[in-house]
């Protein structure tokens, strides 16, 4: 009986370490994603002004290249993250945990191939005057690729939120916030497709769960009494 209890404690300690590592990886996505997907495009790409955009990219080519690297690293981290979370939440509901993994991983090839558009832009910078229309095309295509990937960046949060809600590893409110975050991303994607001029971004108001969840994993971990 004592050996079984010791084995149980060892497994719980391992799961707790995995949960904290998942928290670190999840938090790392915030600066990486903001830098590569939001910040750099916001300062280099000028809507409706391809000439200024080209000048900005030429003058800040290294920054543009780092944004590509950052976007790729985000996807690599996502792969490791979702596999760690699968390990943590599989005992709660294996089917939902598998769904979480599938939905998360579906975004990875989309996001990887989407960066080809930015690499194409770099190839065209050697003759920017002759390639303005192509550069504009690839930049816009990259933007549309993010919209498509964002659907899955949202969808995987629903099974994750459900697992958190059912697990008792942490407050149920965090699970609810994650599921709300799912709705924000998905609504944003379809709104941008249907109403491209619509200016409100719902995910700006529904992301709270994605901050609280990794912080809880990192600081609190999984309480042994809760498993």
Model pLDDT, residue 199: 83
User: Which residue intervals of the chain are DSSP H helices?
Assistant: 2-33, 40-44, 50-59, 61-89, 94-124, 132-155, 157-167, 172-194, 203-206, 208-219
Percent of the chain with pLDDT over 90: 81
pLDDT at 151 over 60: yes
Q: Around Cβ 150, how many Cβ atoms within 10 Å?
A: 22
Read off the pLDDT of residues 40-81 as tens digits, 9 standing for 90 and up: 999 999 988 999 999 999 999 999 999 999 999 999 999 999
Spatial distance between the Cα atoms of 140 and 67, rounded to a whole number of angstroms: 16
Percent of the chain with pLDDT over 70: 92
Q: How many CA atoms lie within 13 A of 91 on its CB side?
A: 9
Confidence of residue 28 (pLDDT cuts 50, 70, 90): very high
pLDDT at 91 over 80: yes
**Placement of tokens 């943590």 in the chain:** 88
Spatial distance between the Cα atoms of 177 and 193, rounded to a whole number of angstroms: 25
What does residue 156 show for φ and ψ, rounded to 5 degrees? Answer: -65, -20
Most confident of 14-28, 59-73, 119-133: 59-73
Mean pLDDT of the chain: 90
Read off the pLDDT of residues 186-211 as tens digits, 9 standing for 90 and up: 999 999 999 988 888 999 999 999 99
Model pLDDT, residue 12: 52
Q: Which residue has the higher pLDDT, 35 or 168?
A: 35
Confidence of residue 179 (pLDDT cuts 50, 70, 90): very high
Q: What is the largest CA-CA distance in the chain?
A: 77
- 37-48 in b/e form (b: 16+ CB < 10 A) is beebbeebbeee
């Amino acid at each position: 009986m004592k050996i079984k209890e010791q084995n149980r404690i060892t497994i719980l300690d391992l799961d707790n370490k995995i949960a904290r590592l998942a928290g670190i990886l999840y938090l790392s996505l915030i600066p990486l994603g903001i830098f590569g997907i939001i910040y750099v495009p916001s300062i280099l790409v000028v809507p409706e002004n391809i000439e200024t955009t080209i000048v900005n990219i030429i003058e800040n080519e290294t920054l543009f290249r780092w944004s590509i690297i950052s976007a790729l690293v985000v996807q690599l981290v996502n792969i490791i993250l979702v596999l760690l979370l699968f390990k943590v939440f599989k005992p709660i509901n294996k089917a939902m945990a598998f769904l979480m993994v599938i939905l998360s991983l579906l975004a990875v090839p989309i996001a990887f191939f989407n960066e080809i558009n930015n690499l194409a832009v770099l190839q065209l910078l050697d003759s920017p005057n002759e390639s303005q229309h192509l550069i504009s095309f690839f930049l816009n295509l990259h933007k549309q690729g993010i919209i498509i990937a964002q659907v899955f960046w949202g969808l995987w949060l629903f099974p994750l939120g459900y697992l958190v809600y059912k697990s008792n590893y942490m407050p149920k409110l965090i699970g609810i916030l994650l599921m709300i975050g799912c709705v924000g991303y998905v609504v944003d994607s379809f709104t941008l497709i249907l109403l491209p001029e619509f200016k409100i971004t719902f995910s700006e108001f529904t992301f709270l769960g994605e901050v609280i969840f990794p912080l809880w994993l990192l600081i609190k971990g999984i309480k042994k009494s809760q498993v």
